[in-house]
Amino acid sequence: MLKRSSRIVLDTLLPSEGNQVLKYGVLDTDFEAFCSDFERTALPAWRWGFYLALWVANWIAPLLIYRLPPLTRHDRRTRERALTVMETSRVYVLRQLMGLLKTIVCFGYGADQNVRNAIGYPPSEGPYRRIPR
pLDDT at 63 over 60: yes
pLDDT at 55 over 90: yes
pLDDT at residue 101 in the model: 98
Model confidence over 11-43: pLDDT tens digits?
A: 999 999 877 778 899 999 999 999 999 999 999
Q: Using 50, 70 and 90 to split pLDDT, how confident is the model at 124? A: low
Model confidence over 81-102: pLDDT tens digits?
A: 999 999 999 999 999 999 999 9
pLDDT at 127 over 90: no
Angle in degrees, 0-180, between the axes of helices 92-110 and 76-87, rounded to the nearest 10:
120
Mean pLDDT of 106-110: 93
- DSSP string covering the chain, please? ---HHHHHHHHHHS-TTSSSS----GGGTTHHHHHHHHHHHS-HHHHHHHHHHHHHHHHTHHHHTT-PSPGGGS-HHHHHHHHHHHHT-S-HHHHHHHHHHHHHHHHHHHT-HHHHHHTTPPP--STTPPPP-
User: Does residue 107 contact residue 62 with C-beta atoms inside 8 Å?
Assistant: no
pLDDT at 130 over 80: no
pLDDT at 1 over 90: no
